Amino acid sequence: MPTDPLFYVVGLSAVFLISFGKGAFGGGLAILGVPMLALVEDPITASIMMAPIVSAGDPFGIWAYPPRTWSWRDLAWLVPGMLVGLTLGALFFVYFDPRLVALAIATLSLWFAARWFIRDRKLQVSGAPPSGSKAIACGTLSGFSTFISHAGNAPIAYYLLPRGLDKTTYAGTVTAFFTFSNSAKFVLYVWLSQHNPQAWIKAAILLPVIPLGVWIGKRFHDWIDGYRLYFCCYSIIAVTGAKLFYDSVRALLM
């Protein structure tokens, strides 16, 4: 059992923030989990801890956003793409520099958010039609990037946000996508962490805060209107993109 009080302060805050994002937006804040946990753990242990944490939050996410809130016709294309991306990430991990992947995702995220804040937020959203090719491409990129650099939200947001879905359908579809993704990755992380059981023990200590975070996030979702929810989603993309950009550039320069 950890005895450092800072572990509990930082760890519980990180898990609450991730869970709040799941309840409010369907996800999007998990990218902040590893950097926060890395303040009190080594980066490898922090990454391993994220697997049971995000997986344990999925049932509560489905409670907040049951299947009736999901856009099945979008998931029908996104999920197969995600599985392809995870497979490519697992097969070609040794051939790709994760720092370059992170930099590419960060650049895309910043461009995507900047375009909305500068131009698109002033336009009336009519809703882009479903696109199988775009969904497969974004799902593949999300699966690949979530395996390589834990940054899978931006490609999914790039596809779903222009669709103009109502706020609950958007959050429900994101919840469903990452539930499938986390389930597919879980077995891999079990294998990767077989020599580090302490990471699972430390993660288990932090799990009780998950229901509270999801519940408060869902209350926030129900309270806020659709435009402000989308404003928050694009803000999250911008903040996480900036954080990922800074981390990847710093890593490349070291």
User: For 214-233, how does the pLDDT look when each residue is reduced to its tens digit (9 = 90+)?
Assistant: 999 999 999 988 778 878 87
Domain positions in the chain: 5-253
Task: Quote the radius of gyration of the chain (alpha carbons, Å).
Answer: 17
Cα 19 → chain centroid: 11
pLDDT at 147: 76
Range 83-108 average pLDDT: 77
User: For 105-129, how does the pLDDT look when each residue is reduced to its tens digit (9 = 90+)?
Assistant: 778 778 878 877 887 666 555 578 8
What's the pTM?
0.83
pLDDT at 70: 96
Among 17-21, 76-80, 187-191, 223-227, the minimum mean pLDDT is found in 187-191
Q: Are 152 and 181 in contact (CB under 8 A)?
A: yes
